[in-house]
Structure 1
Amino acid sequence: MTENVQAVVDKTNKSKRLLSIDALRGFDMFWILGAEGVFAALFLITGLSVFNVAAEQMLHTTWHGFTMYDLIFPLFILLSGVSLGLAAKPISLYSAVERKAKYRHAYKRLCLLVLLGIVYNHGWGTGIPADFGEIRYVSVLGRIGLAWFVAAMLVWHFKTKTQLYITAGIFFAYWFILAFASVGDFGGGNLGANFSINAWVDQTMLPGIRYQDSAVDPEGLLSNLGSIINCLIGVFIGRLMKSQKDISTVLLRNLLIIGFFTLSLGWLLDPVLPVNKTLWTPTFVLVTCGWSVLFLALFYWLIDMLNWQAWAKPFAIIGMNSIIIYLGTALVNWKYIVDSLFGGILTSLSDGWQALLAIVFLLLLQWLLLAWMYRNKIFIKV
């Protein structure tokens, strides 16, 4: 009887922890489904400067610097690492058949995310028959796939201490490359928009086209080194959560310490190596990991410790099908659907209320689709 009760408790704790991670992933996705415009709309309605400041945080930085909108992508990558750290174990502990299945899944996931990323970028550029020189091969989904794949290989094949050494090695190696590697006019510490070493790598080695024909692609080749670190740090955080699951107050304290320390270190080093999302600099890694861990601590405290779950469920519903709804933002004309259903209401309103309710209706339609999928247990995983 005692064993059965303990099994139920363990299952419940696991479910809650997964809810907190799914809720944070859904909260992260919420802002790129259309919610990023809500503050600008509120500023139009109220004229309050606080909403204008918040609206500015919902825009990417032009080059050096950081806004909260810059956090969305790296937070998602770190959470994929957290899930890996919670669940993964050395590949040697699996049978030969299981190992083969694991490898097949990892390669399939990587290839599928790269392919879906191309689809998100609207595929073949000029249309089929394809002009392969007009395809943008790199993407947000492709970067997520690569970061997870590298992290999975390291988790499966190396001990934790070795993984730490490799993570530190990637961090300092990338810093060294940014600071000293040079080819002609490129690199050698130049972190400008046109002549960084990343720009040379993308212009020389990246097939197809770059984002908006820019000098360096924001999902370019060399900056993958930075995003891999985000995922690996997520792995270590996941392991910490797993090892300290029975001492929640200690875990919360450690998450807060790690978050504040990493965030502070990133900004302390900013004068030496600027925080930059496009280049995904090591300082950008530190700042985004710091914020990500602090958000994770907040969600862990609210959901796992205080057991406040009702508010988190709508976000968790988004998080359970995050990849498919992300694809939907590019492949479905949600604005057309909103205008078709609610256009009469919207056009009768002032500009501010029209902008705000258009966002509300857009989010509601997407959420209802996800809620229907959740209710019918349709979870599209990659």
Structure 2
Amino acid sequence: MKSRLISLDVLRGLTIILMTIVNNPGDWGHVYSPLLHAEWHGCTPTDLVFPTFLFIVGVSVVLATSNKSLNINAIQKILTRTLRIFCLGLFLSFFSKIQAFGLEGLPLLGVRLIITAIIVALLFRDYDRRLQFYSAVSIFTIMMLLAFGGFAHYENVRIPGVLQRIAIVYLIVSLLYLKTNWKTQAVFGLIVLLVYWALMTLIPIPGIGGPNFEKGTNLAAWLDNYLLPGHLWATSKTWDPEGILSTLPAISTGIAGLLVGTLLTNHLSKDKKALYLLIGSVFAVVLGLLWNIVFPINKSLWTSSYVLYAAGIASACLVVLYYIIDVLGISGWTKFFVIFGVNPMVVFFFSGIIPRVLSSILIDNPGGPDHDPITLQTYFYQFILSPLFSNPVNASLAYALTYLTLWYVILYILYRKKLVFRV
């Protein structure tokens, strides 16, 4: 295995920290604008979180590959990890829909948590590789049968998702890295961006009209609704920000990581690596901004301009960290971020489970009519944390930071015990 880059762990940690903050405000109606996604076109710091992680996936594939050969063992390992990540994301969609024996309230929550424990044991534990593969296939098959088998409770379960997209990108970039050189990868990534641009700008949308980039009426939205009706993002119902067609350019985000990882592992001096990486970062950002003129930067559509712009910024952040940590050797400040960066899948999965658990626990509302029940999460925010702040936006941010602190405690314990969980 190639040497570990502390700067990459720090970037991963920063990404996880920002993800945790932006996904968990106390009140979605009161959030600082940089911590919200762009309304449609455009890009905020929040819109950079997901592509940065996909970029890191590409870099990590290079750093984690000691033998660059595509054989049956390598393929099985990649497929197993792909299925495990995909299943973890898919289970987050299933968690709140699980029903058992007519149970409600805390007993039903107990059943859901038991099933979660089984899923975690099967998908996070390190055991016989062949059994890992078969267990992942079995879990995936069961969830697909539940989603598409006519079961009422699961007929609207969401199929796309963040972890699902990470899994698909990991699969493609891993196979590409083992089978091709960096030049082929770069050409392939560029072709994907051009093909996606052509599809979105040239193909009319059946039943709607000409090609466009608007919500719900573009080609990506039409394809999502055509192939996965009823199984899309609950907020929109007819399209998905992690949908089918928009996953295509997301692969190029991972390829950008492959190219950077390849540069960082060659035999150039560290100074030259940093310089070339900086030049490439600036070039990608500028090209993304230029493409934005005709193909707007848009996270939900994962436009080609967005791929270049976001990958360029992710690369620029990495080169700054690389120069400070790996070139200048100034690393005493990194531990906090490394703690968040070494167990990313734990945070991805359980930061989805914890809010669902808190939202399943109902208690009496001290301030509501007839004491209508509210969730434990709402109670903590409204009656314990929010009264401490005069500004509701600061109160909302304080909740996110409180949740981040909880995660720091959990991850610090894992770090001290040298427990690293990989899927």
Deviates more, 1:55-64 or 1:366-375: 55-64
TM-score (ref. length: structure 1): 0.83
| 1:119-198 aligned within 5 A | 119-123=91-95, 125=97, 127=99, 130-131=151-152, 132-186=154-208, 188-198=210-220
Q: Structure 1: give runs of 5+ residues left out of the alignment.
A: 1-9, 45-51
Which position in structure 2 is the counterpart of 1:272? 294
Which residue identity lines up with residue 158 of structure 1 in the other structure?
T
- AA aligned opposite 1:227: A
Inter-partner Cα distance in structure 1 for 2:336 and 2:209: 46
Tell me which amino acid in the other structure corresponds to 2:160: V
**RMSD between aligned alpha carbons?**
3.1
Return 141-150 or 127-136, whichever deviates more. Answer: 127-136
Closer, same or farther in 2 for the Cα pair 1:150/1:194, shift >3 Å?
same
Q: 1:34 aligns with which of 2, 15, 21?
A: 21
Amino acid at match of 2:58: G
In structure 1, what is the Cα distance between the partners aligned to 2:54 and 2:417? 27
What displacement does 1:200 show? 1.2
Question: Which 10-residue stretch deviates more, 28-37 or 316-325?
Answer: 28-37
Distance of aligned partners of 1:154 and 1:355 in 2 relative to their CA distance in 1, 3 Å threshold: closer
Cα distance, 1:340 vs structure 2: 6.8
Q: Which moved more, 1:112-121 or 1:136-145?
A: 112-121
1:86 equivalent in structure 2:
63
For residue 378 of structure 1, what is the aligned residue in structure 2? Answer: 419
**Matched residue count:** 352
CA distance in 2, matches of 1:166, 1:356: 41
Task: Give the deviation of 1:75 after TM superposition.
Answer: 0.2
Q: Distance in 1 between matches of 2:341 and 2:209?
A: 39
Aligned to 1:70: 47
Instruction: Give the drift of 1:163.
Output: 2.2
Stretches of structure 2 that go unaligned for 5 or more consecutive residues are 101-145, 360-375
CA displacement, residues 338-381 of structure 1 (integer Å, 9 cap, x when unaligned): 9779x768745545665554444322221011010111121111
Deviations 1:305-342 (A, max 9, x none): 2222232211111111111112222211479589779x
Counterpart code for 1:229: S
Aligned to 1:248: 270
CA distance in 1 between partners of 2:378 and 2:408 (Å): 13
2:259 maps to 236
Q: Which amino acid aligns with 2:50?
A: F
Alignment-mate amino acid for residue 299 of structure 1 = L
CA change 1:302–1:338 in 2 (3 A) is farther
2:404: which partner in 1? 363
Contact 1:65 1:274 in 2 (8 A): yes
Q: How much has 1:104 moved relative to structure 2?
A: 1.6
Query: Could you say if the C-alpha distance between residues 338 and 272 of structure 1 is closer, same or farther in structure 2, counting changes exceeding 3 Å?
Result: closer
Q: Is the contact made by 1:124 and 1:135 (CA closer than 8 Å) also made in structure 2?
A: no
Structure 1 position 107 matched with structure 2 position 130 = no
TM-score norm. by structure 2 comes to 0.75
State the alpha-carbon separation in 2 of the partners of residues 187 and 284 from structure 1.
Answer: 25
1:226 to 226, 244, 249: 249
**Matched residue type, 2:302:** W
Residue pair 2:22, 2:46 contacting (<8 A) in 1 also: no
Alignment counterpart, residue 307 of structure 1, candidates 311, 318, 329 = 329
Counterpart residue identity of residue 369, structure 1: I
How many Å apart are 1:89 and its aligned residue? 6.3
How much identity, in percent, do the aligned residues show?
A: 27
Greater shift, 130-139 or 68-77, is seen at 130-139
Helix, strand or coil at the partner of 1:134: coil
Kindly indicate whether the alpha-carbon contact (under 8 Å) linking 1:267 and 1:287 is maintained by their aligned counterparts in 2. yes
1:25 is matched with: 12
Shift of 1:137: 0.8
